[in-house]
């Protein structure tokens, strides 16, 4: 039997695998909506190409809708229960369900619509209050257009159409870096593919300009944008924390290949921090210092391959070195390709990474949830 059996059991006290109905009272809930790489699992190439051996991971994920190998783009949802002691004066934005739960989404990539269909009904999620964006790559932002379907809506009677229609009740509050915002609105030229030509219509100023120019009113997301990290200033080591509904998030800078910076986030109580580190190759020293100083209970971290190194993402071998330095109580992998087979490898992690240390590293899977005190 795997010597990590006790750690698996310990994790399961935090992981809800039964009913996923909306939490009414008690702790907040953290849900990983996507745990795969940008190409997802199954990888389309593995399904349509006949040359070479069959990819058993992708084939199994394609056949089994409940497979834990079925992975969308990295994304996380926090169903946040503001406590009576939360400083709600820091940020009073957005809307929420009647039960007071604030639904805070981290990234909305290419597979966001699929994640909504798979998990929101089970979670009782009827709308999104806030969006936190780590960076502007396709696997983090190209699902933002679909936010129009997860707004809280208000009904009204359309006499001309003779039926009830719905309009957006409140904007979604979006939090991102200055560089991501500039690329979103298309005000800068970048060499790499960006969203600049795709989402300018989601910038309120440009929406008004279009209406004033006589363009028809279109049903698009209403988003209030908040810049929370000044990445264009490379002399800044640590950006200040920001708050969403009283939940304080500490952005951390991570190198996502070359000079490209992606944001990670630290949050939660000081004695049990949570680190969400979805797209990273290297941690700058100031960021590593933050991680070392934090008492991290749960670290969610990028791991593209098992041992093969990549220019823009960590592999498991590199993650293990980070875990040994930072010493989180538990670590969950995301951003995984078909290199990882959940059916065999999650337990195999015991022998692959143990080396005499109880590292408590596990594979994440889409839909895994944690009850957390925030």
Question: Which pLDDT does position 16 carry in this prediction?
Answer: 36
Peptide bond between residue 262 and the one before it cis (omega within 30 degrees of 0): no
Exposed (0-12), middle (13-18) or buried (19+): which is 54, by Cβ within 10 Å?
exposed
Radius of gyration of the chain (CA): 21
Q: In 205-316, where do the E strands start and end?
A: 223-229, 242-244, 247-255, 261-267, 273-277, 296-302
Strand partners, 109: none
pTM summary value: 0.85
- Whether the Cβ atoms of residue 197 and residue 189 lie closer than 8 Å to each other: no
Question: Which pLDDT does position 218 carry in this prediction?
Answer: 66
Question: Which pLDDT does position 311 carry in this prediction?
Answer: 92
Question: Which pLDDT does position 100 carry in this prediction?
Answer: 84
- Whether the Cβ atoms of residue 8 and residue 15 lie closer than 8 Å to each other: no
In whole angstroms, what separates CA 170 from the centre of its chain? 22
**Which residue ranges form the domains of the chain, and what is each CATH number?**
28-372 (3.60.15.10)
Provide CB contacts within 8 A for 336, sequence distance 6+. Answer: 35, 36, 37, 41, 71, 303, 304, 363, 364
Tell me how far apart the 2 most distant CA atoms of the chain are, in Å. Answer: 72
Question: Which pLDDT does position 102 carry in this prediction?
Answer: 96
Nearest CA to 255 out of 295, 286, 224 is that of: 286
pLDDT tens digit at each of 374 positions of the chain: 333 333 333 333 233 333 344 445 568 999 999 999 999 999 999 999 888 889 999 999 999 999 999 999 999 999 999 864 444 433 333 344 445 899 999 999 999 999 999 999 999 999 999 999 999 999 999 999 899 999 998 899 988 889 998 888 889 999 999 999 988 876 434 444 444 445 666 666 666 666 666 666 666 778 999 999 999 999 999 999 999 999 999 999 999 999 999 999 999 999 999 999 999 999 999 999 999 999 999 999 999 999 999 999 999 999 999 999 999 999 999 999 999 999 999 988 866 555 667 789 999 999 999 999 99
């Amino acid at each position: 039997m795997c010597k990590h059996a006790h750690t698996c059991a310990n994790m399961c006290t935090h992981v809800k695998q039964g009913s996923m109905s909306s939490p009414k009272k008690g702790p907040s809930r953290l849900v990983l909506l996507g745990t795969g790489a940008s190409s997802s699992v199954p990888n389309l190439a593995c399904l349509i190409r006949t040359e070479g051996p069959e990819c058993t991971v992708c084939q199994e994920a394609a056949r089994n809708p409940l497979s834990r190998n079925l992975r969308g783009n990295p994304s996380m949802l926090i169903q946040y229960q503001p406590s009576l002691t939360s400083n709600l004066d820091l940020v009073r934005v957005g809307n929420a369900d009647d039960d007071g739960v604030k639904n805070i989404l981290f990234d909305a990539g290419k597979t966001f619509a699929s994640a909504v269909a798979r998990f929101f009904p089970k979670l009782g999620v009827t709308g999104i209050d806030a969006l936190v964006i780590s960076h502007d790559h396709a696997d983090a932002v190209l699902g933002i257009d679909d936010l129009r379907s997860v707004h809280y809506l208000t009904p009204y009677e359309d006499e001309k159409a003779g039926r009830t229609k719905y309009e957006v009740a409140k904007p979604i509050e979006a939090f991102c870096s200055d560089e991501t915002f500039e690329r979103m609105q298309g005000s800068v030229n970048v060499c790499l593919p960006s969203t600049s030509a795709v989402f300018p219509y989601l910038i309120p100023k440009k929406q008004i300009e279009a209406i004033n120019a006589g363009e028809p009113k279109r049903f698009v997301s209403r988003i209030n944008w908040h810049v929370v990290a000044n990445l264009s200033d490379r002399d800044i080591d640590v950006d200040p924390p920001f708050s969403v509904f009283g939940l304080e998030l500490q952005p951390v800078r991570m190198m996502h290949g070359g000079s490209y910076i992606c944001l990670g986030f630290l949050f939660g109580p000081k004695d049990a921090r949570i680190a969400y580190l979805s797209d990273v190759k290297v941690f700058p020293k100031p960021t590593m210092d933050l991680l070392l100083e934090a008492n991290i209970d749960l670290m969610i971290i990028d791991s593209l391959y098992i041992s093969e190194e990549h220019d823009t993402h960590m592999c498991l071998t590199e993650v293990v070195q980070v875990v040994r330095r930072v010493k989180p109580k538990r670590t969950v992998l995301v951003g995984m390709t078909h290199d990882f087979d959940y059916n065999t490898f999650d337990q195999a992690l015991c022998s692959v990474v143990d080396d005499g240390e109880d590292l408590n590293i596990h594979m994440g899977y889409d839909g895994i949830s944690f009850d957390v005190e925030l």
